């Protein structure tokens, strides 16, 4: 299967974006760990692994169709946060940026009648709906459970439970 140079560039850019998300979540996990939010740390370590699988999906797709993936250099992520809530807000923004990029690729695939890439991207479209909902739901918890020490501790437990839950098969 042959894809256009534009589609190939967009997919390679997405490898960089997913890789950067993996790195950013790793930094968030590390910050949570040293700050004493162990549940949130477990959650973000798992989230970082998930992003790596997203990146690999695209690497394999490009290589499988003979377009050849480019493995990018990644900038150092932000490593310090003012609060857990601020950190989750940043994570949601990251996901919204990823969603935008995926939707752009879908539009390119549609325009170019690249049905193979269009079908490949469907998984990512659905995944992004879940990812955004996940972070929005966590953010709501700050209103529901509070921002004091007890509230944050409860939110940390919610995140621990999420990290321990088995991931649906990708
Ligand atoms: Fe792979 Fe959370 O975007």
Chain centre to alpha carbon of residue 54: 8
Cα 35 to middle of ligand 1, angstroms: 24
Is 152 within the bounds of a domain? yes
Report the predicted TM-score, pTM, of the whole model to 2 decimal places: 0.95
Is 76 within the bounds of a domain? no
Alpha-carbon distance values, 82 to 55, 79, 99, 111 (Å): 29, 11, 26, 43
- Categorize the per-residue pLDDT at 166 as very low, low, confident or very high, splitting at 50, 70 and 90: confident
Burial of 37 (0-12, 13-18, 19+ CB in 10 A): buried
Ligand 1 pocket residue status of 19, Cβ below 6 Å: no
Tally Cβ neighbours within 10 Å of residue 23. Answer: 17
Ligand 1 pocket residue status of 85, Cβ below 6 Å: no
CATH number (domain holding residue 25): 1.20.1260.10
Ligand 1 pocket residue status of 155, Cβ below 6 Å: no
- Categorize the per-residue pLDDT at 88 as very low, low, confident or very high, splitting at 50, 70 and 90: very high
Is 64 within the bounds of a domain? yes
For the chain, the maximum distance between any two Cα atoms, rounded to a whole number of angstroms, is: 55
Confidence check: pLDDT of 170 > 60: no
Is 169 within the bounds of a domain? no
Is 39 within the bounds of a domain? yes
Mean of per-residue pLDDT scores for the chain: 96
Nearest to 74 by CA among 115, 114, 18: 18
Closest residue by CA, ligand 1 atom 1: 51
Is 52 within the bounds of a domain? yes
- Categorize the per-residue pLDDT at 169 as very low, low, confident or very high, splitting at 50, 70 and 90: low
On whether the CB atoms of residues 11 and 120 are closer than 8 A, the answer is no
Is 100 within the bounds of a domain? yes
- CA–CA gap between residue 44 and residue 59 (Å, rounded): 22
Q: How many domains does the chain have?
A: 1
Cα 73 to middle of ligand 1, angstroms: 18
Ligand 1 pocket residue status of 54, Cβ below 6 Å: yes
Ligand 1 pocket residue status of 8, Cβ below 6 Å: no
Cα 130 to middle of ligand 1, angstroms: 10
- The whole domain housing 63 covers 5-71+83-164
Cα 115 to middle of ligand 1, angstroms: 22
- CA–CA gap between residue 117 and residue 72 (Å, rounded): 21
Confidence check: pLDDT of 102 > 90: yes
For 25-74, what is each residue's pLDDT tens digit?
Answer: 999 999 999 999 999 999 999 999 999 999 999 999 999 999 999 999 99
Confidence check: pLDDT of 137 > 60: yes
Nearest to 109 by CA among 73, 71, 65: 65
Is 33 within the bounds of a domain? yes
């Amino acid at each position: 299967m042959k894809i256009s140079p534009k589609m190939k560039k967009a997919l390679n850019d997405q490898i960089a974006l997913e890789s950067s998300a993996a790195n950013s979540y790793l930094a968030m996990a590390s910050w949570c760990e040293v700050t004493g939010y162990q549940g949130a740390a477990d959650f973000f370590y798992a989230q970082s692994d998930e992003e790596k699988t997203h990146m690999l999906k695209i690497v394999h797709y490009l290589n499988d169709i003979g377009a050849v993936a480019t493995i990018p250099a990644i900038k150092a992520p932000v490593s310090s946060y003012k609060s857990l809530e601020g950190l989750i807000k940043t994570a949601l923004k990251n996901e919204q940026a990823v969603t935008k990029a995926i939707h752009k690729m879908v539009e390119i695939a549609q325009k170019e009648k690249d049905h193979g890439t269009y079908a490949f991207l469907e998984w990512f479209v659905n995944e992004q709906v879940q990812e955004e909902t996940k972070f929005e739901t966590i953010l709501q918890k700050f209103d529901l459970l509070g921002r004091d020490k007890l509230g944050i501790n409860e939110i940390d437990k919610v995140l621990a439970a999420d990290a321990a839950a088995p991931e649906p098969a990708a």
